[in-house]
């Protein structure tokens, strides 16, 4: 701390620590509130609007099916490339 002509000047080192902590806690609180809204509020709103979760199950099933198909195609391609390399 520096005292110049009777006035204390700490250049914001000591007073900003608690306000920074309060700002960080405020941001963390907002993030947690947003996560809560997405985890709890969105399904309630969708159910109230008449959208069932069956649509989400179908989309999930299609996504898993596409991933399985991509793995089968990739393995087939690797086998094909391996055979071609052996024939050269």
Inter-residue contact 27 to 34 (CB < 8 Å)? no
The predicted-structure confidence for 45-61, as pLDDT tens digits, reads as follows 777 766 666 677 777 88
Q: The whole model's pTM is what?
A: 0.40
Instruction: Give the pLDDT score at 68.
Output: 93
The predicted-structure confidence for 14-45, as pLDDT tens digits, reads as follows 556 667 778 888 888 888 888 888 877 777 77
The partner residues of 7 in beta bridges, in order of sequence, read 4
Instruction: List the structure tokens of 86.
Output: 């052996």
pLDDT top residue among 50 and 5: 50
Q: How do the domains of the chain map onto residue ranges?
A: 1-51, 52-88
C-alpha 20/C-alpha 78 separation (Å) is 55
∠ CA 84-67-75, rounded to 5° = 15
How many beta carbons lie within 10 A of that of residue 46, not counting itself? Answer: 14
């Amino acid at each position: 701390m520096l005292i110049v002509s009777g006035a204390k000047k700490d250049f914001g080192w000591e007073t900003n620590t608690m306000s920074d902590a309060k700002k960080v806690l405020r941001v963390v609180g907002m993030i947690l509130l947003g996560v809560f809204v997405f985890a709890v509020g969105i399904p309630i709103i969708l159910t109230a609007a008449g959208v069932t979760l069956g649509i989400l199950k179908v989309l999930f099933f299609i996504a898993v099916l596409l991933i399985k198909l991509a793995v089968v195609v990739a393995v087939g391609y690797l086998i094909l490339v391996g055979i071609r390399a052996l024939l050269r």
